[in-house]
A and B are shown apart, each in its own frame.
Chain A
Amino acid sequence: MLNLLFHTQMSLGVGQAAVVAVLAIIVAQFASRRGAKIGREIPMVLLRGIVQILLVGFLIAAMLRGPWWTGIPVLVVMIFIAATIVRRRVPELPGAYTLSLLCMAAGAGGVLTVMTLLGIVEPKIIILIPVGSMVIAQNMNIQSLFLNRFLGEVRSHRGEIESALALGASPEHAAESYLYASFHASLIPAIDNLRSLGIVWIPGMMAGMVLSGTSPIYAALYQFVILSMIFIAGAVSCLTATYLVPRRIFTPQQQLRRLT
């Protein structure tokens, strides 16, 4: 229907975006009347979202003309920004920013570096930026889930942790079972995405590749590669966190900090 009104790809895109934005605002208004307080928030979120993603579109368009390695600083900046978002999820954790920065540098950063060196991620802007941002964004979610869950576990098991300390356990040992539980819980979504791949879920990347004319078989394989990378990056970052996070919640005198 819209393609009858708009004749260039650009104007069609604007039209499509406008229609879904209006629909989202209408739905939000209905939800507000039912008591969900999103009516006022949604227009701002939509505006913010479209401005951000358009800027990225322009940025990629500009970068396409330059050498591929200009993608590297962009991804690095993304990791820095992702760390500020993780910190916001766990404001009570001392040093959360540096911690999540280090973990995601090891996870998303490490995986993207190795995959690029192996040639699995081609060093081209058109591949590096979208694939890299996907891995970083998912890594950020996994990292937030991990820290959030871990702090929740610690808060609800202070008695057990301090009992272990009082028996002479090391802080690492006292927190160990909660680290493992959080590690597992934070990777469940990434594992379930792999499990349900193609059956419950045909991810956006694959849809995009097929839409832009890539062979569906290659798109399918590439999607599997990306989900595996997301899992590996998440696992590496949380594993790094299991080593670094005890130092943040225990004092040098091996006391459990109060996390307010």
Chain B
Amino acid sequence: MTTNTAVLEARDLSRTVDQPGGPKSLLRNISFRLDQGQVLAVLGPSGAGKSTLLRLLNRLDEPTSGTVLLQGADTRDMDPRTLRRRVGMVMQQAYLFPGAAAANVRYGPAQHGIVLEDSQVADLIRQVGMAGYEDHDVSTLSGGEAQRISIARALANQPEVLLLDEPTSALDDLSKQDIEHLLASLVRERNMTCVWVTHDVAQARRVADLVLRLEAGQSIAFGTSQELLHA
């Protein structure tokens, strides 16, 4: 019996959508629990439901059934905006807002009435390896640089959990490595709880403690990275 509450827990999460041809099940009965500082890799082929699962965790999509618990509290009882501040997300593409890098980093805290100091912004931008880029227009950044700024933008909210949706798969090989390395070290340094979606088994082996394998919306394996990937 464990008495400590998990940082993030999913219980029997399912999502079904209505389609012209009848209801379509995107995800069925997914459960897992993550303690502080654990990294869960979600592995599976394209279309398996990996993004759908992440989007249920910060409620960008609505679960049809099942529960998400954050520090033991049902996320349905929270204001979605509060939930999303506490559970940050980095997507496959950076999707930066037009303007300066610094404005992007300030965006999240500003949504909750917090104005970051210049030094805090500079610090976040430095932590993602972009020191001095505060005033750069985001339209001039490369894919890898933009992804770094989007990571700083997510971290600015000081989330308790970080959701990563294939954060390296839209990048060239060199940036892939750099960004993976950056994320892995940021997550370890901060002892962050993290759900990291990837279709790259080697990446999962390098970064994850736990692994969830999805196929056609169903969990086909859940266990430690040791058990599932190093055998």
Binding site for B on A (CB under 8 A): 159-160, 162-170, 173, 251, 253-256
**Complex-state Cα separation, A226 to B104, whole angstroms:** 44
Chain A neighbourhood of B157, CB < 8 A: 167-168
Cβ–Cβ contact B95 & A159, under 8 A: yes
From A160, A168, A173, A256, contact of B95 by CB (8 A): A160
**Complex-state Cα separation, A158 to B58, whole angstroms:** 16
**Complex-state Cα separation, A170 to B82, whole angstroms:** 11
**Complex-state Cα separation, A116 to B65, whole angstroms:** 56
24 example contacts (A-B, Cβ-Cβ < 8 A) are as follows: A159-B95, A160-B95, A162-B60, A162-B91, A163-B89, A163-B91, A165-B80, A165-B84, A166-B88, A166-B91, A167-B85, A167-B88, A168-B108, A168-B111, A169-B81, A169-B107, A169-B111, A170-B111, A173-B111, A253-B62, A255-B59, A255-B61, A255-B80, A256-B60
The answer, yes or no, to whether B50 is at the interface (CB within 8 Å) is no
Cβ–Cβ contact B89 & A166, under 8 A: yes
Binding site for A on B (CB under 8 A): 58-62, 80-82, 84-85, 88-89, 91, 93, 95, 97, 107-108, 111-112, 150, 153-154, 157
Cβ–Cβ contact B95 & A253, under 8 A: no
Cβ–Cβ contact A159 & B91, under 8 A: yes
6 interchain residue pairs of minimum CB distance:
A167-B108, A159-B95, A168-B85, A166-B89, A163-B95, A168-B111
**Complex-state Cα separation, A162 to B93, whole angstroms:** 12
From B59, B82, B107, B150, contact of A253 by CB (8 A): B59
Per DSSP, are chain B's interface residues mostly helix, strand or loop, or mixed? mixed
Cβ–Cβ contact A253 & B111, under 8 A: no
Chain B neighbourhood of A162, CB < 8 A: 60, 91, 95
Cβ–Cβ contact B95 & A165, under 8 A: no
**Complex-state Cα separation, A159 to B94, whole angstroms:** 9
**Complex-state Cα separation, A219 to B50, whole angstroms:** 65
**Complex-state Cα separation, A170 to B95, whole angstroms:** 17
Chain A neighbourhood of B150, CB < 8 A: 163
**Complex-state Cα separation, A162 to B61, whole angstroms:** 10
Cβ–Cβ contact A254 & B80, under 8 A: yes
**Complex-state Cα separation, A55 to B60, whole angstroms:** 52
Chain A neighbourhood of B62, CB < 8 A: 251, 253, 255
In angstroms, how far is the closest chain A Cβ from the Cβ of B50? Answer: 16
